[in-house]
Amino acid sequence: MTPDARRLEELGLNSSAPPGQLLYDGWLLRLLPGKAKRARSVNAVYPSTQPLEEKIAYCERLFGAAGVPTLFRMTPFSQPAGLDATLERRGYGRFDLTAVELADIDPSRVAMRATPMPLEPWIDAISEIRQASHGERAAHLARLRASPLAVRPLAIVATGRVVATGLTIVEDDCAGLFDIVVREEARRRGHARALVASLLATAWELGARHAYLQVNAGNDAARRLYASFGFEERYMYWYRGRAGEQG
């Protein structure tokens, strides 16, 4: 059955779960330092009972003690309903509007054109492309290594080096597409299209019949590419963070 928006949110949270996280009065607190904001933010997923201002202050203390900026990831399902407005009043600016898109996998559109890679050398490759710090690399590896889901890293290799990366994570009959990155000097050569086709082919082989992804809402080129594979927007999410802490 095609997943609804709430199930997509669960799938996305599961795919990005860090090795350490806490539940606090209905909020999922993730404190893994690294590049992925989904793994170092507050996700207000369940109804809560504590006073809202006290909860926000608690998160600020907890994240501050961990040396991680206090970020809130906001969705149409965030609880309580007034959280977004309260964060705005407290100086948390809105940034990184992201579209969650879904497609039924069409096997006639997919083809394996990328190379499967072991996780650790794949992490090395994407970290080098992104110019990630040692800490960001370690956090990325720790998160994916700890996942109980099927994790399949892929890459495109040209002239002896990785020029593009992608990752699919499969849960039940749904696959998430992540980390689709192409070296700047290798762009506009069809590598991103080849990666998406390969990730979907891999997902199909693993039993997935639906695929989802998360893309910057203003990235028109990427969204046109994904639309050619049948992806359509299902909902948006965004982050809130204080000035100087929105990276």
Confidence (pLDDT) at 90: 96
End-to-end CA distance of the chain: 37
Q: Residues in the chain, how many? A: 247
Looking at the structure of the chain, the number of domains it has is: 2
| Boundary-marking domain end, from 99, 126, 151 | 99
21 within some domain: yes
Same domain, 92 and 108: no
Per-residue pLDDT at 79: 92
- Pair 154, 182 in one domain: yes
Per-residue pLDDT, averaged over 213-230, amounts to 97
Report whether 241 contacts 72 (CB < 8 A).
Answer: yes
Residues 91 and 112 in one domain: no
Residue 10: CB atoms within 10 Å: 14
Position 241 in a domain: no
- Indicate if 129 and 227 belong to the same structural domain: yes
The CATH number given to whatever domain includes residue 187 is 3.40.630.30
Residues 116 and 78 in one domain: no
Judge if 93 and 111 occupy the same domain: no
Q: What is residue 30's predicted lDDT score, i.e. its pLDDT?
A: 95
Dist. CA 111–CA 118, nearest whole Å: 20
> Which tens digits make up the pLDDT trace of 110-128?
999 999 999 999 999 999 9
Listed residue (114, 32, 93, 123) closest to 244, CA to CA: 93
Same domain assignment for residues 148 and 168: yes
For residue 246, being part of any structural domain is answered with no
**Residues 174, 111 share a domain:** yes
20-48 pLDDT per residue, tens: 789 999 999 999 888 889 899 999 998 88
Q: What is the pLDDT of residues 55-70, one digit of tens each?
A: 999 999 999 999 999 9
Instruction: Label residue 77 by pLDDT band (50, 70, 90).
Output: very high
To the nearest 10 degrees (0 to 180), the angle between helices 134-145 and 119-130 is 140
What are the tens digits of pLDDT across the range 142-179? 999 999 999 999 999 988 899 999 999 999 999 999 99
Question: Does 209 share its domain with 93?
Answer: no
Percentage with pLDDT > 90 across the chain: 87
Confidence of residue 1 (pLDDT cuts 50, 70, 90): confident
Q: Would you say residue 163 lies in a domain?
A: yes
**159 and 72 together in one domain:** no
Q: Is the pLDDT of residue 53 over 90?
A: yes
Please indicate whether residue 48 or residue 210 has the higher confidence score (pLDDT).
Answer: 210
Q: At residue 19, does pLDDT exceed 90? A: no
**Mean of pLDDT over the chain:** 94
Within-domain flag for 90: yes
What's the pLDDT score for residue 218? 96
Residues 207 and 193 in one domain: yes
Residue 150 lies in a domain: yes
What domain range includes position 218?
103-234
Task: Name the DSSP letter for residue 168.
Answer: E
Domain edge (last residue) among 70, 99, 128 = 99
In a domain, 239, yes or no: no
In terms of domains, do 210 and 114 share one?
A: yes
Instruction: Out of 69, 99, 129, pick the residue that ends a domain.
Output: 99
**Tokens in use for 245?**
């802490």
